[in-house]
């Protein structure tokens, strides 16, 4: 019974607890719902406030933009109105100008018609006059023009000859003394040795037996020597001597020195040949540098590129018309410096241009082109001043002269080449030059005879007196000299001596 009562109380307790719990949950849910409703209401109010604020700001912004747009439209409208007014004014001005042009065209048309009428009348008058003149003179217009032109040409030739003579005499009087003093002074104060040019070097041998050792077994020594030096080794019947043939003077000199050392050493085999050739090449290279340094020191020249100085030293082994090119270059430098000093110019610039004027001859066998152009390119590439480059490029008068130093170097070059004993010329070239001189002189009208004398330094021209007059003598001498300058190459200068000969022949019976 107690157990049953306890169980009943337990069930009743559970029911009461469950009812109480249910009531507490319901009250809690109602509180949460109330809070959520309140928050939703607050959120709606805030959202409404934000909407009203944004709408207000947007309306203000739209109002501002509308005002700015209206202002800009107004300004553009004003600008368009101003542009329209300007265009209207230009159109009015253009109409006025077109009216003026139209009036001018009418006036010009009237004047043109008047001019055409006058021209037609003038041509008719001229034609009538020409017809009357032809009737009076008994010749056509073309015949009269030819006679007149011939007369004018004769008179002009006569006057030109006399004027040339007068100008020549005046220039000769003013320049001859000064030029003679400068040039003779330069020549007298300069003396440089001349050497002979050769493409063959001869090496003496102590005995004939050594020729066989030079040739070697089956020719191996001579083949090695020729391949390493690029020189032809000639072993013939010449007693106790061998010959080295090559147009490159540096290779020929290397071969000559190597051969002399081989002969002295006596050990002639390919390895020894190669060793001595390399040693000779080094010696030659050092000698070229030394010669270049000595040349610029002797000439008082400073700050020259090492490669240019070495190339200058190569000229010691280069010859032109029998004249050593390095010696010739030093002579030209001395003469140019003396002339510059006499004229009050910079001596160092003149000497530098003179010393380097033939630098292209050191490498002209390696590069195609005239040595003046090759030398100018080399000097420019190695940093020489523009005035020195121009002296090198124009020393043969093949370019336009731009400075007095170019003239000085060209004159000094001509003096060095033309002085007695400086150069030698082959017999064939000498005879050909004389024949060309006489042929040029005889090609002119009125020349009866022409003779090249004094080794080509003077041409004597004899004119036919019946076909020339006194005035044409000087004109003809001038024309012959200019043609010789244009067509021939020669050292120094050539005197053109023109004589008008009159002969009278009678027989005594």
Q: Across the chain, how many H-helices and E-strands are there?
A: 14, 8
CATH of domain 427-501: 3.30.70.1350
Burial class (CB in 10 A: 0-12, 13-18, 19+), 164: middle
Taking CB atoms within 8 Å and a gap of at least 24, the contacts of 214-223 are: 214/242, 214/259, 214/262, 214/268, 216/268, 216/269, 216/270, 220/270, 221/268, 221/269, 221/270, 221/273
pLDDT for the residue numbered 413: 83
Phi then psi for residue 162, to 5 deg, are: -65, -40
Residue 155, CA distances (Å) to 143, 147, 160 in order: 18, 12, 8
pLDDT for the residue numbered 234: 85
pLDDT for the residue numbered 195: 35
The pLDDT > 70 percentage for the chain reads 81
Residue ranges covered by each domain of the chain: 200-281, 289-418, 427-501
Instruction: With a cut of 50, say whether residue 193 has pLDDT above it.
Output: no
Predicted TM-score (pTM) of the model is: 0.48
Each residue's pLDDT tens digit, 64-95: 888 888 888 989 889 888 888 989 888 888 88
Instruction: With a cut of 60, say whether residue 411 has pLDDT above it.
Output: yes
- 276 half-sphere exposure, CB direction, 13 A CA radius: 23
CATH of domain 289-418: 1.10.3210.10
H/E run at residue 498? strand 495-501
Each residue's pLDDT tens digit, 320-351: 766 788 888 898 899 989 988 888 888 888 89
Each residue's pLDDT tens digit, 281-301: 899 888 888 888 888 888 888
Question: 301: closest CA among 329, 323, 324?
Answer: 329
CATH of 200-281, one of 3.10.180.10, 3.20.20.140, 3.30.450.20, 3.30.1370.10: 3.30.1370.10
Which residue would you say has higher pLDDT here, 501 or 359? Answer: 359
Question: 495: closest CA among 455, 463, 439?
Answer: 455
- 154 half-sphere exposure, CB direction, 13 A CA radius: 10
- Are 395 and 376 contacting, i.e. CB atoms less than 8 angstroms apart? no
pLDDT for the residue numbered 194: 37
Distance from CA of residue 428 to its chain's centroid? 36
Average pLDDT across the chain, whole number: 80
Question: 502: closest CA among 460, 458, 470?
Answer: 470
**Number of Cβ atoms within 10 Å of the Cβ of 309:** 19
Ordered alpha helix ranges (H), 219-370: 220-229, 249-265, 270-299, 306-314, 325-342, 347-356
């Amino acid at each position: 019974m107690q157990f049953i009562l306890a169980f009943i109380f337990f069930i009743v307790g559970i029911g009461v607890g469950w009812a109480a719990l249910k009531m507490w949950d319901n009250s809690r849910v109602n509180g949460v719902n109330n809070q959520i409703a309140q928050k939703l209401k607050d959120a709606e109010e805030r959202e409404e406030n934000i909407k009203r604020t944004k709408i207000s700001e947007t309306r203000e912004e739209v109002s501002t933009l509308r005002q700015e747009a209206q202002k800009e439209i107004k300004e553009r409208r004003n600008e368009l109105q101003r542009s329209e007014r300007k265009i209207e004014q230009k159109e009015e001005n253009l109409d006025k100008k077109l009216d003026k042009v139209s009036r001018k065209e009418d006036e010009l048309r009237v004047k043109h018609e008047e001019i055409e009428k006058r021209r037609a009348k003038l041509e008719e008058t001229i034609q009538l006059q020409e017809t009357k003149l032809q009737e009076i003179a008994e010749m056509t217009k073309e015949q009269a023009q030819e006679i007149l032109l011939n007369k004018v040409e004769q008179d002009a030739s006569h006057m030109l000859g006399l004027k040339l003579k007068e100008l020549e005499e005046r220039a000769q009087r003013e320049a001859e003394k000064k030029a003679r003093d400068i040039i003779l002074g330069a020549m007298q104060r300069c003396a440089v040795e001349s050497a002979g040019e050769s493409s063959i070097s001869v090496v003496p041998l102590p005995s004939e037996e050594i020729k066989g050792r030079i040739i070697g077994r089956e020719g191996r020594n001579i083949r090695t020597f020729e391949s390493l030096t690029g020189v032809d080794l000639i072993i013939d019947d010449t007693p106790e001597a061998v010959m080295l043939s090559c147009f490159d003077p540096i290779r020929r000199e290397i071969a000559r020195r190597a051969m002399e050392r081989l002969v002295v050493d006596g050990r002639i085999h390919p390895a020894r040949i190669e060793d001595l050739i390399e040693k000779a090449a080094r010696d030659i290279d050092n000698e070229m540098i030394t010669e270049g340094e000595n040349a610029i020191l002797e000439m008082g020249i400073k700050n020259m590129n090492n490669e240019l100085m070495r190339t200058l030293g190569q000229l010691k082994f280069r010859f032109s018309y029998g004249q050593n090119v390095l010696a010739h270059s030093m002579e030209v430098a001395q003469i140019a410096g003396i002339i510059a000093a006499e004229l009050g110019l910079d001596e160092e610039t003149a000497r530098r241009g003179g010393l380097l004027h033939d630098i292209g001859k050191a490498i002209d066998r390696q590069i195609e082109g005239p040595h003046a152009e090759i030398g100018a390119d080399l000097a420019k590439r190695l940093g020489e001043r523009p005035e020195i480059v121009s002296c090198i490029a124009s020393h043969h008068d093949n370019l336009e002269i731009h400075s007095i130093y170019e003239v000085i170097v060209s004159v000094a070059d001509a003096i060095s080449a033309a002085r007695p004993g400086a150069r030698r010329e082959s017999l064939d070239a000498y005879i050909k030059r004389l024949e060309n001189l006489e042929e040029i002189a005889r090609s002119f009208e009125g020349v009866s005879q022409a003779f090249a004398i004094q080794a080509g330094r003077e041409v004597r021209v004899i004119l036919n007196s019946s076909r020339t007059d006194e005035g044409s003598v000087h004109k003809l001498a001038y024309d012959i000299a200019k043609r010789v300058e244009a067509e021939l190459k020669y050292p120094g200068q050539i005197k053109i001596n023109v004589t008008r000969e009159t002969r009278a022949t009678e027989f005594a019976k």
